[in-house]
Amino acid sequence: MKSSTTLHASRTTTMQCAAIALIATGSIAGAVQASEKVVRTPQGEVTVLTASSESQRKIPDSAVAHPFATEKQRAAAAPLPWPADARVQPKDAEAALPAPRQPFLDNTRQGGSPLPFADYQARQQFGEAWRRLEALAGTEVEQPAKDSADKDGAHHPYLRYPGNYYTFQWTAAPWNKIGKLYFTTPGGGSSYCTANVASGNSVIITAAHCVYTRGQGFNRNFVFVPADRYGVAPYGRYGWQSATVLNNWISDGGRRWDVAVIRLSGEATTGQPVTNYVGWLGRSWDWGYDQQIYSHGYASNLSTQYTHICAGRSYSSGWEGTDVLVQGCDMTYGSSGGGWLRNYTPNSHAGNHVNGVVSGPHIGDFGNSYVGPRFSSANIVPLCNVAGC
């Protein structure tokens, strides 16, 4: 996805706008940390929130200086509820027809490996975190998988089981490339979602509602912790440089637009990019609705301490409309933004293509199945073109 953008317009960044942000966040720092602009691409318009140089610098360890500097602060963050205002198709909408696979289009990007000896380096630099996690080795109680089926469409079954719960998994691909995204909402609350490192340029992919609260504006103070496990950050903490959402999400709110990207800054203490430590996942778009999918998330109804995975086939639904994937799964809040992986390849930096993210519940089936945007040329492509995935 080569960049092909031109500046369309500049969103208001006057003192009046800053005052509005000040009222919304109750923080002078929050009011002056970032600026917005609209960018037009051949596939549609996006809005970019760019952090100030001050907020791009290393995350301080002081709880006074940053809302997610400490483990205690991050532990207090609540899982973000699914947005109630996400627009969906009426029940009698024309069924979305599966899009054919397009093997001749350049619609796949491969994942990548971290630096050689990345785990050794991380163990030296984040030693206390590694000692705490390694002390858990052998203490995990085997967790049975849940085998179930959803209640709509083709009634595809799913199998749900723990993700990076087990010690042998939290340092391995693809699980260590998935983490928690912490942020402050426009109303001042501390929340978290799930996000995925999916670019060699340190860009993470998550749900748009984790980045932009419709009717209120961008969330702020983003901090990403890859492989977050029991609140520990074995590969460090990462601030942000820019956050990008589709204007269709801002104005329309449809599930097909519920995807966003954030370009990360360097690790808080070492300054190194996240890809040095964990590499990155692949990504794909414009594939069909019927795929074998492994969706991941920090689902609070199961555990806020580690990820879970739902394995099953995705499909289309006339209730949800075009470019919306459905999958059977009982994960709920906190799983928002979790990657739906095609070509799932455990213990490998190959395959593992992010093809969608968790958006919210399937209509009338809360807690049994959920939906996400089918990555396409209309959503992930303009976002990545602008953010530089």
pTM: 0.88
User: Would you state the pLDDT for residue 368?
Assistant: 87
Q: Does the pLDDT value for residue 195 go beyond 60?
A: yes
Query: Token match 């509005």: residue?
Result: 20
Query: Token match 């399937």: residue?
Result: 362
Calculate mean pLDDT across residues 364-368: 84
Q: pLDDT band at 371, cuts 50/70/90?
A: very high
Distance CA 65, CA 24 (A): 19
Query: Token match 């994937």: residue?
Result: 325
Let me know the angle formed at the C-alpha of 56 by 129 and 356, rounded to the nearest 5 degrees: 75
Report how far apart the first and last C-alpha atoms of the chain are (Å, whole number).
Answer: 8
Q: Is 255 helix (H, G, I), strand (E, B) or coil?
A: helix
Report the chain's mean pLDDT, rounded to a whole number: 85
**Over the stretch 14-41, which tens digit does the pLDDT of each residue have?**
223 333 232 233 333 343 457 999 999 9
User: Would you state the pLDDT for residue 248?
Assistant: 97
Q: Which residue did the predictor score with more confidence, 41 or 53?
A: 41
Which tokens go with 30? Answer: 């929050």
Q: Does the pLDDT value for residue 45 go beyond 90?
A: yes
User: Would you state the pLDDT for residue 33?
Assistant: 53
Q: Does the pLDDT value for residue 262 go beyond 80?
A: yes
Phi and psi angles of residue 89, each rounded to the nearest 5 degrees, phi first: -75, 150
**Over the stretch 304-344, which tens digit does the pLDDT of each residue have?**
999 999 999 999 988 899 999 999 999 999 999 999 999 99
Let me know the angle formed at the C-alpha of 45 by 195 and 355, rounded to the nearest 5 degrees: 35
Q: Which residue did the predictor score with more confidence, 137 or 239?
A: 239
Buried (b) or exposed (e) across 314-345, using 16+ Cβ within 10 A? bbbbbbbbbbbbbbbbbbbbbbbbbbbbbbbb
